[in-house]
Structure 1
Amino acid sequence: MPKVRIDRIECQAQKDAKGEAEIWLLAQSDGGMHVRYPAGPVAAQNISEGGTWQIGDLELEFEGCCNLAIYEQDLNVDISLTDFQGCVSFMAGADDLVDKIATNGSDSSDSGYSKYAVGFTNLG
């Protein structure tokens, strides 16, 4: 069964008014249960543009596909009040070797623009 380890998230661009985003991850493998990382309901990692969040202990196993979404929290508990930052997908049979780019699709001149590189290792 394919498995990837998320090694790091690099903030390449973000326009948070505070200059620092509080991000967290939401993974879903093969349409199953969602997994939040970090696990706490308000847990997040502060990251500024140019910064890197070293992870290394998040492993995702899947048969067909795994999606990993990045959200910006601003200390809101309600997921509907968080800001979507981008998403990447991992597919069975793909021998991806380079970072995947997650962006929210906004234009770089937009006040809500974000871009993150997701560093990972294929484990099998």
Structure 2
Amino acid sequence: MSKHSIQVTSIYCNATSESGITSGDEVYLVCQADGGLPIRVPGGVNASENMKKGDTWKPDNLVLNFEYEVLVTLWDHDLNYDPNLATYLQSNDFQPGIGSGSKRLSNLNGADYTISYTYID
């Protein structure tokens, strides 16, 4: 039984992983609560959100329930025909009692995203 919840309210693109190479990142999330089955947002093998610098993605009602922790990982899905070639962007591990706020996530490839969230319980 889940004791805690967060809602991912938005993801803001400060910079893409392919700045100047392509038109942006094709971002999707993989969320995994307490080591359980991962869920993909948006759902579907080829679904993603095209993000360019300055874009904000507001996932529809993305509430994640957990007891110990929930891992949210951002991926860049460049090639629609092969999900195995997705590029890892960054991740954050949400834990009980973190409060609401935002977390800036960046990597050595230039990807720089800010994830905003509301701690519900």
Q: Report the TM-score when normalising by structure 2.
A: 0.89
Q: Distance between the aligned counterparts of 1:115 and 1:83, measured in 2?
A: 14
Give the AA of the match of 2:31. A
Structure 1 spans left out of the alignment, 5+ residues: 107-111
Cα contact 1:76–1:82 (8 A) shared by 2: no
Any idea what SS the aligned residue of 1:3 has? strand
Deviations along 1:53-77, one digit per CA (max 9) or x if unpaired, are: 1124111000011010000001334
Query: 2:80 maps to what in 1?
Result: 76
State yes or no: 1:117 paired with 2:107.
no
Query: 1:8 maps to what in 2?
Result: 10
Give the AA of the match of 1:10. Y
Cα contact 1:8–1:56 (8 A) shared by 2: no
Report the aligned-residue RMSD.
1.4
Instruction: Number of aligned residue pairs: give it.
Output: 117
Deviations along 1:14-49, one digit per CA (max 9) or x if unpaired, are: 142113111000000000000000011100001101
Give the AA of the match of 1:47. M
Give the AA of the match of 1:54. K
Any idea what SS the aligned residue of 1:80 has? helix
Q: Distance between the aligned counterparts of 1:23 and 1:68, measured in 2?
A: 12
1:3-82 equivalences in 2 (<5 Å): 3-16=5-18, 17-82=21-86
Query: Which of 70, 78, 98 is 2:101 aligned to?
Result: 98
Give the AA of the match of 1:3. S
Cα contact 2:98–2:119 (8 A) shared by 1: no
Give the direction of change, closer, same or farther, for the CA distance of 1:28–1:77 in structure 2 (3 Å limit). farther
Q: Distance between the aligned counterparts of 1:120 and 1:49, measured in 2?
A: 20
Q: What stretches of structure 1 move > 3 A for 4+ residues in a row? A: 75-79
Q: What fraction of aligned residue pairs are identical, expressed as a percent?
A: 27
